[in-house]
Structure 1
Amino acid sequence: MKRSLVLIATAVLAAGCGGGGGENATQGQGGGSPAKVTLEWWHLSTSEPLKSLWAQRAKEFEAKNPNVTIKATVLENDAYKAKLTTITQSGKAPDIFATWGGGVLKQQIDAGLVKDITSDVADVLPNFTPAALSAYQLDGKTYGLPTDIGMVGFWYNKKLFEKAGITQPPATWSAFLEDVKKLKAAGVTPIALAGKEKWPGHYYWAYLAMRIAGLDALKQAAVDKDFTKPDFIAAGQQVKALADLQPFQKGFLGAAYSTPDGQSATVSNGKAAMELMGQWAPAVQKDSGKGLGDDLGFFPFPAVEGGKGAATDAFGGGGGLAVGTDAPKEAVEFVKFMTEMGNHSKAVEAGGVLPVLKGEESAVKDPNLKQVATMLASAGGYQLYLDQAYPPAVGQQVNDSVAELIAGTKTPEEVGADITEVAKSEE
C-alpha cells in the first residue's frame, strides 16, 4: 500500500529460491576471481516508472559486479503478500525482498529469516530521514533500508468536482459525505474502490479510527488487543454511513486495484471522481488508464468533528528492502546501491517514489507529490498501514472485516469483535 504497486505478475517464483545463492556459487579458478553469486530479489513494483527503473538498477549493479546475477521475481500486491506468508512457513527467505516493515517484518525477524544489517549499513544510515527508517528498525537494530515513504489521501478529478459544484476539497468528514451526495446528484460516481483486494477498503476504517479514537488508541489496541471500544465502533459506523450512500462504482466488490478495469483505471479514465490511495496513485493511474494530467488533485483525509485525532496525523507507509538471513554479502551491497543518492533520486524525479534521503526533496517534480511530501513533513503523527503495523493474522482480519462491513454483511460491532478475537488468539 500497499503498495509500491501492482499490475500483472511479470515473473514467477523460481523453484528453490532463497538462501544466498549458495548452490549457484562457484569459486573462481586460482582464487583470483570472486565466487559467482545469484541473488534472488522479490519486489512488487509492477507499474512504471519503477518497473523499468528497478530493472535498470539491477543491470547496472551486475555491470559493476560481474560475478553477480540478479534474478528478479516481480509480483502484484496480493500475490506478493501470499509469497511473503510462505517465507515464514518455509523457513527460507529470498536474498533481497521488498518489505513495508512493522509487525509483519517483526514476525519474520522473530522467525530468524531476516539479516541484522546494522553494522553493514552504519556508514549510510545518517543519510536517511528518521521517518523513512523507522519502520525497518527494531530494538536499536536495522533490518532494512527504505526506498519510499508517503501517505494515503484522496486523489480526485478536479473537473468532476466542478461538475458537481464542489469548489474546494472537503476539510471535514461531514462535508465529505455531503460532497459524495453532490457527486451522485450530478450523475458522477463518487469513489472507485478495489473491493476484491480488500486492503484499499481498510484505509477508510483505519483513517476514521485515527481521526475519532486517535493514534494513541490504535497503538494501545495493539497492546491490549481490544478493538471493541466505542471509538472503534464509531469508526465502523462512519464507514457504514459512507457505504450506505452507495458511492462506489458498479461491480466494485469484484474489482481489482491496478487492472485495466480496476480502481485506479476507473479514476484515471474519468469514470469516478476520487480514490483513497497512497503516494503511488498517479503512477499507477498513468499505467492502468489514460491519466488525468492537470485535472488530478490531492487532499488529505478529512478531520472528524469531535474526534480525538489531529487532522495533521498521517496514515501510510513506504517501502524498503530487507535481506534474508543466509544471503551473501553482495545482497547488502545491492540494497545500499539501490538507495544511493545518485540512484534513488532518479526514481524520485520520475515520480515513482518520494524522498527517503536527506536533501532529496528538490527531486520531487510532480506538484501533487510535492503536496504529499510537504504534508508528510509537517505531520503531527504517523500510523503505518494496519495490515502491516499489526501481526499478519490481525492485519488480514482488519482487511477482511472492513470488506464485509462495506459489503453490508457485517456490523460495526462485529468488525470490532472479530478483530479482537484474532488479536487475542495471537497471544
Structure 2
Amino acid sequence: MKNFLKATALLAAGLIALSGCSDPGSAPANTAPAAWPDAGTKLDGVNLTIWAAQNSNSVPKSVVTAFEAKTGAKVNVVTIPDPYEQGVQTKIATGDKPDLAFWQPTASMLTAINATTNLQSLDGAPWVEKLKPAVKDITGILDNTRYAALITSPAVEGVYYNKDVFTKAGITETPKNWDDFLAAARTIKKAGTVPFFEMGGDKWATQWWVQVQLADAAKNGLWDKVNQNQEKFTDSTILTAVQNYKGLIDEGLFNPNIKTATFADQADALLSGKAGMAVQVNSFFGQLQAKADTAELNKKIGFFPISPAGNVATVIPDQSNALIAFKTGDSAREAAARQLLSYWMGEGYQDFVSAQKTVSLETDAKDSADVPQALLDAAASLSDSVGSMQSLAVANPDLYLNLADMIQGTKTPQQVTQETQTQFAQLAKAQGAAGF
C-alpha cells in the first residue's frame, strides 16, 4: 500500500511512456486467450519470471515450488525495489517485461500500466466461477475485460479496535454508524485512554479517515461525478470529510504524538491498549501478527467497518492481492504464465491459502485455521463494500500527503482539497479523461 501511494504523483508520466504518447484507452479491446492449458502440462525448458515487491516476494514460494515439481518449469521471482509501482512502470516503458507480476488490480492502476496493450486477457479463466460472489468481480477488470487474478482477500479500510479498551470504557457493542463511532471515542477518552491513534509521521494512512467518511457517497456515485469533473475535492462532500478529520484532531481524540507517530507505533499502541482504535487496512494487521499469535489477537483485537450512516466497508486492493500476466511476444511463455495462474487458483489454491494463513476467495477452499477473527470479519465486510478513491477514481492524487501537511499545521482543509483537486485534474487530463 505504502509503495503505491508514494508512486501516484508519477502516474501521468508513466501513462504517457507506456502508451507511446497515445491515449491509453485507445488500444483495441483485448481478446480472451485461445486456450487455458491444463495445470499439469509438462513445461520442461520453460523459464518464467514473476516480479514482486519487497512485501510480496515471499507470497509465491509454496506455489512456485509445487508448480516447478509438477511441470518441470523454472520460475524466478524477482524483487523490484521500492517504490515498486514506479519501478515496474519504468522497466516496462523501456520494453522490459516479466511473464507475471504482482499489481494493484484497480481500474486506475490497470490503466496506468496500459493493460489493453501490455497484458493478457484473463477472460474465461477456469477458476473465476469458483470465486465467492463478493469478490468475483470486485476488482481486476478494465473496460469489461479481466486482466488481474485476485489471489488474496482485498484490503479493506475500517476500524481495528482493542477489546480490553472497549470493556474498560463500558462499551459492549461495536459502533453502528459514524455518530456511534465518535460517541465511543469520547467515552474511551473519559475512561482515560487515547481513543484514536494516527501515524502522521509515516503519512500514508491519513487518507483512510477521509475515505471511510465518503463510503456512503461513493455508493451513490461520488467518484463517477469526480471523474466527469461534475464534482470536485473542493466541494462540500469531500471538504466536509477533511474538516471533520481535522476537528477530531483538534478535539484531542488522537494520540499526542500524531505528527511524528509511525506505522509501528500505531500497532504497538493498539496491541498494548494505549489506544482504543485505528482506522487502517489489512496490512496493519500484518504488523499485529508479527507481534502476537492468533490466540492473543483473537482475545485483544477486533474489526468493524464504518461509514457515516452505517457499516459500509471501503475496499482498496493492493499489489500483494493480485497478479497480472504480460504479453511478451513468446506464445509458449504466455501460455505457461496462464498455466501457472490456473494451477495457483486451481489445485494449488488450498495449499496456498494454508501456507499464507489467509482467507480463501473460493467456495471450495477453506480458510486457514490460523486466520484471526478480525481478518475474517474484514473479509466478510466485502459483501457490502464500496470502492475507495484508488478503486473508483480515474486518477489518484496525493491526498495523503496533503492531509499529513494539515496534521503538521502547514495546510488548512481548504488548501488540502484545493491542492488535491489541482493534481487530480492534471492527472486526469494526462490520461485523456473527458471533461478535463
Q: 1:338 aligns with which of 344, 350, 368?
A: 344
Shift of 1:412: 2.2
In the TM superposition, 1:141-290 aligns within 5 A as 141-150=145-154, 151-211=156-216, 214-224=219-229, 226-257=232-263, 261-288=264-291
Return closer, same or farther for 1:402/1:361 CA change in 2, 3 Å cut-off: farther
Give the letter for the 1:94 counterpart.
Answer: P
Cα deviation 1:314-355 (Å, max 9, x = unaligned): 211332111223172322222222222x53334545674433
Q: Please provide the CA RMSD for this pair.
A: 3.2
The 3-state SS of whatever aligns with 1:414 is: helix
The answer as to whether partners of 2:405 and 2:411 remain within 8 angstroms in 1 is yes
Task: Look up the match of 1:367.
Answer: 373
Task: Look up the match of 2:69.
Answer: 63
Distance (whole Å) between structure 2 residues aligned to residue 63 and residue 346 of structure 1: 15
Q: 1:138 aligns with which of 114, 122, 142?
A: 142
Task: Look up the match of 1:35.
Answer: 45
Shift of 1:158: 0.8
Distance (whole Å) between structure 2 residues aligned to residue 375 and residue 3 of structure 1: 25
Give me the identity figure in percent: 21
Aligned length: 377
Return closer, same or farther for 1:91/1:387 CA change in 2, 3 Å cut-off: farther
**5+ long unaligned stretches in structure 1:** 5-31, 305-310
The 3-state SS of whatever aligns with 1:165 is: coil
Distance (whole Å) between structure 2 residues aligned to residue 336 and residue 247 of structure 1: 48
Cα deviation 1:194-229 (Å, max 9, x = unaligned): 334433211111111224575411222122262222
Return closer, same or farther for 1:333/1:198 CA change in 2, 3 Å cut-off: farther
Shift of 1:107: 1.8
Is it true that 1:421 corresponds to 2:411 in the alignment? no
Cα deviation 1:293-333 (Å, max 9, x = unaligned): 412112221434xxxxxx25321133211122317232222
| TM-score using structure 2 length | 0.75
Shift of 1:110: 5.1
The answer as to whether partners of 1:42 and 1:94 remain within 8 angstroms in 2 is no
Task: Look up the match of 2:405.
Answer: 404
Distance (whole Å) between structure 2 residues aligned to residue 54 and residue 351 of structure 1: 9
Return closer, same or farther for 1:183/1:33 CA change in 2, 3 Å cut-off: closer
Cα deviation 1:130-165 (Å, max 9, x = unaligned): 543432112232211101234221111111122233
**5+ long unaligned stretches in structure 2:** 5-41, 430-436
| TM-score using structure 1 length | 0.76
Return closer, same or farther for 1:413/1:422 CA change in 2, 3 Å cut-off: same
The answer as to whether partners of 2:200 and 2:206 remain within 8 angstroms in 1 is yes
Return closer, same or farther for 1:187/1:90 CA change in 2, 3 Å cut-off: farther
The 3-state SS of whatever aligns with 2:60 is: helix
Give the letter for the 2:158 counterpart.
Answer: G
Distance (whole Å) between structure 2 residues aligned to residue 95 and residue 115 of structure 1: 10
Return closer, same or farther for 1:167/1:338 CA change in 2, 3 Å cut-off: same
Return closer, same or farther for 1:423/1:363 CA change in 2, 3 Å cut-off: same
The 3-state SS of whatever aligns with 1:152 is: strand
Task: Look up the match of 2:322.
Answer: 320
